[in-house]
Amino acid sequence: MLPRPAYLNRLETALRRSPVTALLGPRQCGKTTLARLLTSNQPAAAFFDLESLPDQRRLQNPELVLGGLSGLVVIDEIQIMPQLFSVLRVLVDRPENQARFLILGSASPALVRTASETLAGRVEFVELHGFDLAETGAESWQTLWLRGGFPRSFLADSDAESLAWRENFIRTFLERDLPQLGLRIPPAAMRRFWTMLAHYHGQTWNASELARSLGLSDKTVRSYLDILSGAFMVRQLQPWFENLGKRQVKAPKIYLQDSGLLHALLDIPDFQSLLGHPKCGASWEGFALEQVLRILRPSQAYFWATHSGAELDLLFFHHGKRYGVEFKFNEAPHLTRSMRIAVQELGLAHLWVIYPGRERYLIQSNITALPLTQVQHMV
């Protein structure tokens, strides 16, 4: 397992200022491992794993058991016992409470909504994703792109073992995880939808087109999309639009968050197959986008596009200024008409063009070509 100091620091900070910290993320992204790393430095008063029947029995009287604890209390897979949220609210409101609670759960819209409503003003959320370049090292970008960031996929002994793990993950997610989250959707139907999304990766959402392809209603495919988004499988990048006198795109762009799962759904087994695949450029765009968002962590992020063809892959705000990012799978990106329009129309302080090369160079005074491995030096 790779060390994850940035996430550990965020958890320690959240635990100091909030009585309850919720660590959310998809299954197998390393939540339990991270919690155990935290408790090795900061011993826990108690660690409850709710997938364990003995731990479930220990919490048959949760207010009595948890109310007598002090220090750090970790509750893993809390979505199995959602009634604990109301118990935690009672406990942390007691003046004599000496405990800090770290709750772990596989992300779902219902879990986030329940925690937000029941523990309003008492809980801080930390989202955990798979590995990023800051954790794996810049020299590992090709492996990270192909295999994705799930720890067991990235650290597998071979590409074949990594692909086998990802295929099993997809099957388990559809057949076990979704039903455990209370979602009664036939696995075969969701698999077809997920695979279709992989082919639309990096494109603007079009519910009607997908619905026709799958023989479903617009409302159904929208609900499927929201389910995968809530489970951190899909990112919906929202459009930025304002009154610029142009017809602008107002539907989100869709990306599969983990490039390894994208490649498994597209049946891409190795790096050479990836380079020759028609979705290579779109895959690079989504992978590089996730690295930028995870490393820089901007508070707001959008894309921008007009119906006349001008577009910007990523627009974010930093210290009151607008910055743009384009992702090009190209050995030597050059200035394009779309870049000029984006800089002018959006008033960008700077535009970066992220590409898989090694050298940083100026394309124009306010446009820079930047290797993906140097993303942390953008702002």
The answer, yes or no, to whether residue 89 has pLDDT greater than 80, is yes
| Collapsed DSSP state (helix, strand, coil) of residue 206 | coil
Q: How many CA atoms lie within 13 A of 342 on its CB side?
A: 30
Strand partners, 351: 324, 367
Question: Own/partner pairs for 203-207, CB < 8 Å, 24+ apart?
Answer: 203/253, 203/254, 203/282, 204/249, 204/251, 204/252, 204/253, 204/254, 204/305, 205/236, 205/251, 205/252, 205/253, 205/254, 206/251
Average pLDDT rounded to a whole number, residues 45-54: 90
Fold type of domain 133-377 = Arc Repressor Mutant, subunit A (1.10.10)
For 5-127, CATH gives 3.40.50.300
Residues of the chain with CATH 3.40.50.300: 5-127
- Under 8 Å CB-to-CB from 134, ≥6 apart: which residues? 6, 294, 295, 376
Strand partners, 20: 101, 123
Rounded CA-CA distance 322/351 in Å is 9
pLDDT, residue 182, reads: 64
pLDDT, residue 250, reads: 81
Residues of the chain with CATH 1.10.10.10: 133-377
The answer, yes or no, to whether residue 96 has pLDDT greater than 60, is yes
Per the model's pLDDT, the better-predicted residue between 113 and 131 turns out to be 131
Of 8-12, 30-34, 120-124, 133-137, the least confident: 120-124
Confidence of residue 245 (pLDDT cuts 50, 70, 90): low
Confidence of residue 23 (pLDDT cuts 50, 70, 90): very high
pLDDT digits (tens, 9 = 90+) for 313-337: 999 998 889 999 999 999 999 999 9
The answer, yes or no, to whether residue 244 has pLDDT greater than 80, is no
- Judge if pTM exceeds 0.95: no
Longest pairwise C-alpha distance within the chain: 66
H helix runs in the chain, sequence order: 5-17, 31-41, 53-58, 62-67, 84-92, 109-118, 133-136, 141-147, 151-154, 159-172, 178-180, 187-199, 207-214, 218-230, 259-265, 271-275, 280-296, 337-346
pLDDT digits (tens, 9 = 90+) for 26-45: 888 999 999 988 888 777 77
Rounded CA-CA distance 284/146 in Å is 10
